[in-house]
Amino acid sequence: MAEPIIEQIAEHLKTSINLITTTNGFNENLRAIRPKRKDFEDASWADKDVIISQVEAEKSEGGSFTKEWEQFFMLTCIVIDSDTASDPIDTRCNKIAADIEKKLLEDPSRGGLAIDTNVHAKVPFKDDEAAISGIAIQISVQYRTQENNPYERA
């Protein structure tokens, strides 16, 4: 059976982030991860891992015989500097956030699956205990399906 439209959108996000490489004209080489439960148990995130978490969805006004959704995602990018790093960690976080925003907005329709993609927030974080830092980027993807079929675009 086919995948629901929202699953196709999530996979499109993963593919897009994996295309953020220096050979493609970006500042960093990022690796997208749609984690499984075991990934959280192991908690072995590496520098430049982008953890894609699907969070809440809000129903919007759709047209006749359609349902429209705004699905939020949190893209959490791990940024770990080496002991010899000379640039501030904020500089790397800013470049990574800009790379992600640029790539996602190249195709806001997610390959024709969505109406639009929006960036809402960029929140730096730092956990001294775990010696981990990075930036979390909240985005939303608006999409529409047939009223009675989440596998079918409208």
16-39 pLDDT per residue, tens: 999 999 999 999 999 999 998 766
The total domain count for the chain is 1
Find the domain containing 105 and state its range: 5-153
Question: Is the model's pLDDT at 128 over the cut of 80?
Answer: no
Measure the CA–CA gap between 39 and 11, rounded to whole angstroms. 18
Distances (CA, A) of 74 to 2, 41, 61, 104, 123: 25, 19, 23, 13, 10
- Please give the average per-residue pLDDT across 5-16, as a whole number: 98
Read off the CATH number of the domain in which 46 is found. Answer: 3.30.2000.30
User: With contact defined as beta carbons under 8 Å apart, do 103 and 26 qualify?
Assistant: yes
Which tokens sit at 46?
């590496």
User: With contact defined as beta carbons under 8 Å apart, do 77 and 137 qualify?
Assistant: yes
